[in-house]
A and B are shown apart, each in its own frame.
Chain A
Amino acid sequence: MERTHMRRQVGLMRQSLFTQGFLDEQFIQLEELQDDANPNFVEEIATLYYCDSSKSLQTIEQALEKTPHDFNKLDNHMHQFKGSSSSIGAKKVKDECQQFREYCKAGNREGCMRTFQLLKKEHATLKKKLEAYFQMARQAGPLETASRPK
């Protein structure tokens, strides 16, 4: 019973991540890749992402501290960051990345700084949410729930 309840919780949590725009359909793609051979694939990817992306964020942050801003470089960094964020389906993060790149193209220093702060925030928020989600999912056991569309 508790299991079912937990699973439902997990399902709801997951659903909310989507509806709130934290995740997009790419996340579903990842979920589909998860199978018996890769039982924790999604979590592994998320972990990998967070590990790698924190480094990227640091690099960008450092680049932002330098003046004048090398917008090209920033754009390149962000391009990559955006790529990996989109690969795991981190929607909000990706959107902020896009915004950042727009500002870079326009050479808008203030805009870049601002967006970057937002981006970090989104990044951290998603991380927490995902961690909670995965934890609960693990507790709930195998995740073939009806609420998980294939």
Chain B
Amino acid sequence: MTIEPVLDDQRDQFPIGMRVLAVDDDVTCLRVLETMLHKCQYHVTATSHAFTALKLLRENKNQYDLVISDVQMPDMDGFKLLELVGLEMDLPVIMLSSNGDTELVMKGVTHGACDYLVKPVRIQELKNIWQHVVRRKKVDSKDQANSGNQDKSHIGSCGGGVGNLDQNVKLNKKRKDQKEDEDDSRDEDGYDNEDPSSQKKPRVVWSVDLHRKFVAAVNKLGIDKAVPKKILDLMNEEKLTRENVASHLQKFRLYLKRISCVANQQANMMAAIGSSDSSYLQMTGSSFNGVRNYHALTGPGQFNNTGFRSIPLNGVIGRVNTPPALGLHCLPSSASNKLGHGQKSILDQGIFPGNRNGSKGVGDLSAAINSSPVFPICSGLPDAKLRSSDAVGLTDNPILRHPRDFEVSAAPLKSEISASFLDHESWSSIAQSSAFRSNSFPSSNNMPVVMRSCQFDVPCSQLQDPRPEMPISSTTSADSDPFQGWVWVDRKQDSPYPSDAMDSLMPANVPAAFDHNLDSKGTTLQRNMDFNSIGQSNFRDPMHIKFDEVERSMEASMNPKAGYVMDQRKPQGGLVSNNYGSLDDLVSAMTNQFC
């Protein structure tokens, strides 16, 4: 039962001796797994507690090459662990579960799992898991050299067969395009064939301050215009190289996408809860799918947060649910929202052309999303939105609108989440704020917002977990609302983009156009929506599925506040925080990663 190393001999005897960390709360399974891994000649560390595993990893991430974790664990959800590990340590994680439902597998993939094994695990399956380590190393090296393109391959190779590869491609392409005007010192060949073992370069520690600077620079430039070189110039940091910034930017974008996905989902959920427009929900569902998809995208490009603080994950998950609900609520239920009316008209007008007709809307939307180049071209969307003469300022592009809708609701949520993040990580908050900002300024930082919503994806996916996790816990949000400064909060004040601290992060060019279209609330909503739509569009499809689930969860955990996303940016905090829970974690993770 020897494992033939495929790599050069200079790589020592890999995969023999590959260091695996196995996590499973079931002692029987753990023991069996451990033994099997030993048999495969790996070096195994086994623990039945997720927190212990995290601790071990944090103490020295270099001690492990691969993590195998069960999905269902009492102290921490496996997906959460997966995210954390991916964000903080950037290690390949394999999920393990006795439940092999497509949904769960999808969830695993979108959360960034390299593989998903179904129990009972056979030793044959374990014999090849070393490939994920190799692949990850390759991706990492590419990431450092070429921060734009590796996700594509990684996603593909990770089997993120979400089906929206075209979106991924677009995303990657966009990134690539964006980077084309950067220095050419970067090696553009895509996938260099370096020996993986020589690829490890000293990592830049992205401290909170550094990241703040980074986010500020990105916001200033505008997410779509933020190229590493310019960011680097703005940041004016000596020890940073363009490559560092480039790879950090890539991760940041993924993060934002994720947040926006989640936000969208939540928004959808909210809308669903708040409105009777079920079709809308369906759309959100598609959004979720999109988000999911995004997750797959982001999987490879997870953030490594060394300083990730452990955040109560369970709470987070619950929170996640709320935001979407909030968001959704805002959109469809115009009646209850001031913004709504503006929005509503749009909605009524068939923002979701497909949805109007009911369930099939989702499909249409998804299709629309897929075909729409929204995602890759965040900047494009906002402009469109701005130009649109809709009262709400929504673009004609239904997809765009859709995202915006999501975003709108999501945005408030996000801000809330950001707030909670602030508690944990300033980085998170910054990211959040920037994300939010982007939302509000469709024309400007679309990216941040979008990405942020994507992050919701993660939390949203959590939503799909058993109900218990999904309660929209307004309580969770209550504790942290550091994001007062977030755009959303600002919005509430009816200032297009209030100039509070957070504002600094927001793009200067508040779409004035929107303002006149909507009342302050509406405007903000619009903005967010635009942004979201942009960001969200990518995630539509993935979110689709997720959304359904989220929707379900949301409905289950209906929060009276849900309906007031638009109106209550602040209150949303509560809801948002829910989302934030997961976002928070993500953000924190991200922050840590960069720290």
Bitwise interface map of B from 21 to 44 toward A, beta carbon under 8 Å scored 1, else 0: 000011111011001100100000
Contact (Cβ within 8 A) A33 B120: no
Secondary structure of the A contact surface, majority rule: helix
Contacts of A134 in B (CB 8 A): none
Q: Which residue of A lies closest to B97 (CB)?
A: A83
| A72: interface (CB < 8 Å) | yes
CB neighbours of A86 from chain B (8 A)? 98, 119-120
Bound form: Cα–Cα A41–B98 in Å: 22
Complex Cα distance, B119 from A29, in Å, reads 12
Which residues of chain A from 51 to 75 have a CB within 8 Å of any chain B CB? 52-53, 72-73, 75
- Does the CB pair B466–A33 fall under 8 Å? no
Contact B72 A87 (CB under 8 A): no
Binding site for A on B (CB under 8 A): 25-29, 31-32, 35-36, 39, 70, 72, 97-99, 119-123, 466-468
With beta carbons under 8 angstroms apart, the residue of B26, B31, B35, B123 that contacts A83 is B26
Distance A130 CA – B120 CA, assembled complex (angstroms): 19
Cβ–Cβ contact A33 & B39, under 8 A: yes
Residues of A within 8 A of B72 (CB): 76, 79-80, 83
Cβ B98 vs Cβ A48 within 8 A: no
Q: Chain A residues with Cβ under 8 A from B28's Cβ?
A: 45, 48-49, 52-53, 84, 87-88
How close is B486's CB to chain A, nearest CB, in angstroms? 34
Identity of the chain A residue whose Cβ is nearest the Cβ of B26 in the assembled complex:
A84
Report the nearest A residue to B24, measured CB to CB. A83
Q: How far is the CB of B47 from chain A (nearest CB, A)?
A: 16
With a cutoff of 8 Å between Cβ atoms, the chain B residues found around residue A38 in the complex are 35
Residue A26 at the chain B interface, CB threshold 8 Å? yes
A44 partner residues in chain B, CB cutoff 8 A: 31
Q: Contacting A48 at CB < 8 Å: which of B27, B70, B123?
A: B27
Q: Is the CB of A83 within 8 A of B98?
A: yes
Give chain B residues whose Cβ lies under 8 Å from the Cβ of A76: 72, 466
- A contact residues, range: 20 to 34
Q: Is the CB of A41 within 8 A of B35?
A: yes
The interface bits of chain A over 73-111 (1 if a CB of B lies within 8 angstroms of the residue's CB, else 0) are: 101100110111011110000000000000000000000
Give the distance in Å from the alpha carbon of A32 to the alpha carbon of B331 in the complex: 59
Q: With A and B bound together, what is the CA distance between A117 and B509 in angstroms?
A: 67
Nearest residue in A to B25 (C-beta to C-beta)? A80
CB-based contact A45/B98 at 8 Å: no
Q: How many angstroms between the C-alpha atoms of A76 and B72 in the bound complex?
A: 8
Q: Are A33 and B123 in contact (CB under 8 A)?
A: yes
Residue of B nearest to A82 (CB): B98
Q: Can you report 28 residue pairs joining A to B where beta carbons are below 8 Å apart?
A: A29-B123, A32-B123, A33-B32, A33-B39, A38-B35, A44-B31, A45-B31, A48-B28, A49-B28, A52-B26, A52-B27, A53-B28, A72-B467, A79-B72, A80-B72, A82-B98, A83-B97, A83-B98, A83-B119, A84-B27, A84-B28, A86-B98, A86-B119, A86-B120, A87-B28, A87-B121, A88-B32, A89-B120
The interface centre, meaning the residue of B26, B27, B466, B467 with most chain A CB atoms within 10 A of its CB, is B26
